[in-house]
Chain A
Amino acid sequence: MSSTLTFPDVFVNASDALNRDSINTTSPWLLAFRERQLQQLKQCSLPTRKTEDWRYSFRHLKMSDAIAKPLPILSLESSTASSLDDSLVDLGGDLVVFVNGHFAESKSRLPSDASYTIKRFSELSEEEALQVSEGSSSDTSSFPFAAINGACLADGIYISIPKNTKLEKPIQLHFHAEGEGTTTPRVFLIAEQGAEATLVEEFTGATQTELLTASVTDIQLNAQSELRYIRLNTEAEQLSHIGLTQVNQNRDSRFKSFCMGLGGPVRRHDLKIKLLEPGAECSLDGVCITLGQQHYDNHTEIEHISAHCQSDESYRCIAGGNSHIVFNGRIMIHRDAQKTLGAMSNKNLLLTSNAEIDSKPELEIYADDVKCAHGTTIGQLDEEELYYLVTRGISPDHAATILTLGFVNELVQKIPNESIKERTEARLENLIKSAFQED
């Protein structure tokens, strides 16, 4: 595997090829959308050591030109089907499955009634298409992968929840990827006034060669709406995932996110929240664990643009083996955002001396009547707690596992879905166990 990537040329070529192949089957707005993103992509360059937003993760971006092509179309009857079935846990609600960037109808279950809209980008009406094109502005200068997503976008999912609709069951989106190339999952969700829903995004997959997932999720929350957002990364080795989630919140809307990073060699997730109108609230929780040579980079940015907004953020990370975890949280309070409350907490556990944790909690504040705080710790398990458990006849490895699990459990318990909670807990326990066995 060569490690050079001719950027952005190879992706520009991939986008051109995509346009050639699908010019007759793609709706005009999507072609125009791709074209706009392509123009942005042409201006991009890959992050380097000097790119502040990528100073800790640039070195993990090891890709070759082979990655710049769409993934092969997989037959759902072949061997992949079993690996997909293994990873797919049905939550009982509406389910949309994408395999290698293509909608897998036989695996999906779309809503039987018309309580809300969920469709593929290829089926959008003009009005809906306009919402997507207008609501998907990405700053690609510091995040070129969003431009890759846009320029190579084959299909996406559009969700619209009408006024005052409260969805009991979660909307489950499952993205599965295999083979060599790039996949570009894209989600656009708009919650109208007073709507309430839970969105689950799960990314799974495996590859023997090189695979890049460049995902983008755009969320628009109108007045008084509420969205619980659960994001699960459970991909296997070799697969790189670089994702962006952007949320725009209007008056009195609430956004709660739960981002679980449970595997994969290179993970990066940028979560950008804009609190546009008074009374908007967000709470961001995240848990991640890395082992072996893995890398996980959490970037969050909360922009308080309007007064009387509130944000609360808590991330817990565990690094074992030779792995590397980054947390970069940024709270920015604009001049007019008076009476803001902002809190950020990042706690990290470093299990081995070959692992590395870098934390960068930033505050940028231009308004005076605010209360803002952040706290960060990097440390290890408490010797006394370990000793206590060991004196009770628990083996040291097991004791360490219990305590480590306890360290993140507080956040895991907050996941608003029983099935995911249990699954996450079980997976975390396995990963933590293997971390202590590695030593």
Chain B
Amino acid sequence: MNTVTTVLQALLGITILVLGVAGLHATLTRTAKAGTDSGGNDSAADASAANPRTNSPVSSRADSPANIAPLFLLTVTGLMVGSLLVAVVGLADNPLAYDLLFGAVAVALATFGRLRPATFLARIRDHLLREASRWKAAAWKTSAWKAGPRRAVLLTSVPILILAVAVGLSWWSDDTTMNAPVTALGATRTHTGLEVTVTRAEGDNGDLLLEVINAEGRQWRLPLEPRKKKVDVPVGSEATPAPTTVRLLVNGKIIRSITIQ
């Protein structure tokens, strides 16, 4: 996938997840209300003997099930079970299958939860406007900034930045350590000949020479550019299986030797 496709896929995926979670939240809330309205709420029924007032829908709304634990739980298990369904039909390698399935589920949840885009967008707009006004009121030049969102964001960003530095540092050091090039020689036979792979470590700065000797004693000598860390050397007319020796020489000295059948 190219960068554009990757970004589009990520945006689509995030949209599906956000819509799905919002729809699930709305659905849970609605189901809870409906359950209580119809007297189907288990707890309310159980509790009514002890306290009839708790059977009111208002109490139930206040104690909405749309809180974090079930929301997370249903999201995780839903993704898992949905992914299983996709895999059962053999499409677990296909992003489109996931987009379609989870997109449909997200839309269904949003519909069932009566999540109206207009209301949703209006709420977001209101929220943004409110935030903007708070930020404006707590501008740097005013004395109110210390109690405003700017300071809060600044303070919150400190641990995040420190963690980001820790992760970035570790990623860089782990990646560069693990993938440090080593001087290696490998060969495989292809339809057209031999494919020889040479990698060289940072410290190997000498003149590298690749020597290929086939079963009949024919010899090729291929100098390798010093700065190139990885070289694929297709040696033609070696398609017929026969022992062929490949050697890697540094300054005339054999440092690696392999044989390919």
Q: Are A and B subunits of one complex? A: no
